[in-house]
Structure 1
Amino acid sequence: MIKIASAAKTYGETVVGPIDLSIPRGGITALVGPNGAGKSTLLTMIGRLLGMDQGAIEVAGLDVASADSKELAKVLSILRQENHFVTRLTVRQLVAFGRFPHSRGRLTAEDEAAISNTLEFLNLEQLQHRYLDQLSGGQRQRAYVAMVLAQDTDYVLLDEPLNNLDIAHSVEMMRHLRQAAIDLGKTIIVVLHDINFAACYADRICAMRDGKIFAFGSPQEIVRDEILSNIFGTPITVIDGPHGPLAAYL
């Protein structure tokens, strides 16, 4: 479980929190909301990439602010939006970085097997010896997600993993994440811009606005006309789709 107690961060004119939230273990929790709502800030605070001004966050019983880095890295992994490796790496070399908390830079046969399994899981076997600068934006994004999954943590934080992906590859990515949650037992927290992907693939939706939690619950509880219209500041009508509720906003 992830427990957030009165967590807050202020930078410039932006204020996020205080936030109180408990995210159960297992499944996919989607953070949604308009730009500037605080989604990425909250995610990076959970992942200890951004310090808090107040409050506390626990992941699987570990205090994020004070836990040993090596121990936390075996429990929690995070992928930010900004991925800029200046060194020329192959896909396999990039994914191998995910094994660092386990191997400390000396890959074992177990590490190599984990890398290969992750590449297969995300259908990257054919690309594993290609350099990152030879890939499309969507292929690179899949490679970065593979790096995080190779870390083999129970908790996985992903900041907008659908960036640079077209519709087909976005669907493929969310199906992979759904599979990781079900078959591999991962607890995945993901920032999404498309409410319909959240409605279809998430077990829980945490809707944010103005740095606060506006609503938290199942897709059936959150994907409603009045809630979405208030969150996003535009009229939204929810209709029954073939796989559940769909937000119509055009």
Structure 2
Amino acid sequence: MIKLSEVRKQYSSETDIGPVSLEIPAGGITALIGPNGAGKSTLLTMVGRLLAMDSGTIEVGGSDVTTTKSKELARVLSILRQENHFITKLTVRQLVGFGRFPYSQGRLSEADEEIVSKYINFLHLDQLENRYLDELSGGQRQRAYVAMVLCQETDYVLLDEPLNNLDIAHSVEMMKHLQRAAREFGRTIIVVLHDINFAARYADYVCAVKDGSIVAFGGVEEIMRDEVLTPIFNTPITVIEGPDGPLACYH
């Protein structure tokens, strides 16, 4: 479980996150949705200890993210931000291998190499593992980053807009990979998404954020309703039943 208790972050008199209290169950995919500037990424990066909170506590799998040693937390929690600045003269295999650093400290064992291969194959990157990052398409590169995070083999995985800059086909492919990872490896995946229909199709839980506050949390059927979504996005939204579940239609 991820538990936030009275978490707050204030940037200025106009920008204020929280206080937020929230419990995200272990297992499956939880999607953070909401309008631009709602605070989704800020909440995610505070959970991942990449941004300090002004007050409150956050626990991930029973570990307090403020007081737990970095080496220990890195075996519980992994995070992929929107901005990835790895040097491009890395191969896919070298990048994915970084996920083993909390265990190997940069000296990959035979067992580490097997784990690297496991996630390269899982993300269908085996034909690309010796290619350099700057030789890949955006979708291929994003898969490599996700493979690196999964290779860390943490129970909790945080992904900040992993569909950013991906077209629809690659977005669908990515969400299917994440859904499989949650189910096959028993991971708890928290993902920031802009498209609420991807959340509806692939998430187990949906957390709606607006103006720095949690305004709704629950299963897909609870959140995907006209009366819930319309005030969140400040635009009329009608939810219809599609072939694979509820779909949100904007007006």
TM-score range, shorter chain: over 0.9
Alpha-carbon distance in structure 2 between the residues aligned to 1:84 and 1:69:
21
Aligned to 2:186: 185
Aligned to 2:82: 81
Aligned partner of residue 139 in structure 2, secondary structure: helix
Aligned partner of residue 99 in structure 1, secondary structure: helix
What does the per-residue CA deviation read over 1:163-215, in whole Å, with 9 as the maximum and x for residues that have no partner?
Answer: 12111111111111111111100000000000000001101000000000010
Matches within 5 A, 1:9-158: 9-12=9-12, 13-86=14-87, 88-158=89-159
Q: Is the 8 A contact 1:141 1:163 kept in 2?
A: no
Letter in 2 for 1:150: C
What does the per-residue CA deviation read over 1:211-248, in whole Å, with 9 as the maximum and x for residues that have no partner?
Answer: 00010000100011111111111111000001110001
Q: Is the 8 A contact 1:224 1:238 kept in 2?
A: yes
Alpha-carbon distance in structure 2 between the residues aligned to 1:22 and 1:243:
27
Matches within 5 A, 1:237-248: 237-248=238-249
Alpha-carbon distance in structure 2 between the residues aligned to 1:18 and 1:218:
23
Aligned to 2:223: 222
Alpha-carbon distance in structure 2 between the residues aligned to 1:137 and 1:57:
33
Q: Is the 8 A contact 2:238 2:248 kept in 1?
A: yes
Alpha-carbon distance in structure 2 between the residues aligned to 1:125 and 1:178:
20
Alpha-carbon distance in structure 1 between the residues aligned to 2:203 and 2:86:
30
Q: Is the 8 A contact 1:38 1:208 kept in 2?
A: yes
TM score, norm. by length of structure 2 = 0.98
Q: Is the 8 A contact 2:6 2:18 kept in 1?
A: yes
Aligned to 2:237: 236
Letter in 2 for 1:247: A
What does the per-residue CA deviation read over 1:100-124, in whole Å, with 9 as the maximum and x for residues that have no partner?
Answer: 0011110001110111010110011
Matches within 5 A, 1:201-220: 201-220=202-221
Aligned partner of residue 127 in structure 2, secondary structure: helix
Alpha-carbon distance in structure 2 between the residues aligned to 1:194 and 1:135:
25
Give the percent of matched residue pairs that are identical in Structure 1 and Structure 2: 71
| Structure 2: unaligned runs, 5 residues or longer | none
Alpha-carbon distance in structure 1 between the residues aligned to 2:210 and 2:2:
20
Q: Is the 8 A contact 2:88 2:133 kept in 1?
A: no
Aligned partner of residue 127 in structure 1, secondary structure: coil
Alpha-carbon distance in structure 1 between the residues aligned to 2:166 and 2:117:
23
Alpha-carbon distance in structure 2 between the residues aligned to 1:111 and 1:175:
25
Aligned partner of residue 43 in structure 2, secondary structure: helix
Letter in 1 for 2:166: L
Alpha-carbon distance in structure 2 between the residues aligned to 1:163 and 1:130:
22
Runs of 4+ in structure 1 over 6 Å off: none
> By how many angstroms is 1:159 displaced?
0.3
Q: Is the 8 A contact 2:88 2:132 kept in 1?
A: no
Letter in 2 for 1:18: P
Alpha-carbon distance in structure 1 between the residues aligned to 2:75 and 2:147:
16
| Structure 1: unaligned runs, 5 residues or longer | none
Q: Is the 8 A contact 1:138 1:163 kept in 2?
A: no
TM score, norm. by length of structure 1 = 0.98
Q: Is the 8 A contact 2:38 2:211 kept in 1?
A: yes
